[in-house]
Homo-oligomer: A and B are copies of this chain.
Amino acid sequence: MFSIGELSRRTNVKVPTIRYYEESGLLDAPERTEGNQRRYDAAGLERLSFIKHARDLGFSIEAIAALIELQGHPDRSCAEANDIATAQLSDVRAKIKRLRALEKELVRISNGCDGGGVTEDCYVLASLSDHGLCERDH
């Protein structure tokens, strides 16, 4: 049995975030001391580690809630778990694609200016004013 601060230290999840996860329904409400302080056990630690890992991989709170629900029914098909992971992968890939396009334009934009001029002639400001200078859409 350990305190919320101890749980925080062991998982690298901040105390207010742990309380937020409880409020959001991701963590079960733990036992309390007589003085109303939370006391966690190994199951609580394991659950929070799962959540932390999923968050680190970019899953939303909603997706994590669904995954936890599935975990609670060991005999159910894992098709939905696979769907959630696949959706997360597509999401990440879409973000990468967009960011790579932005990266290209930003390289062009910042290469066009050495910071030694005057704002009136600045290629950064000109580029932002005129999307026609861009090589592609974003």
Contact = CB atoms under 8 A, between A and B. Distances in A.
Given A95-B99, A100-B96, A106-B57, A78 B129 contact: no
A82 B124 contact: yes
B73 A119 contact: yes
Interface residues on A, range: 35 or more
A115 B79 contact: yes
B129 A107 contact: no
A70 B118 CA distance: 10
A114 B82 contact: yes
A24 interface: no
Interface string A72-103: 01111111011111101100110110011011
Contacts of A85: 106, 109-110, 113, 124
Given A71-B125, A85-B109, A110-B85, A57 B102 contact: yes
Given A57-B106, A89-B107, A103-B96, A81 B119 contact: yes
Given A70-B119, A118-B77, A110 B125 contact: no
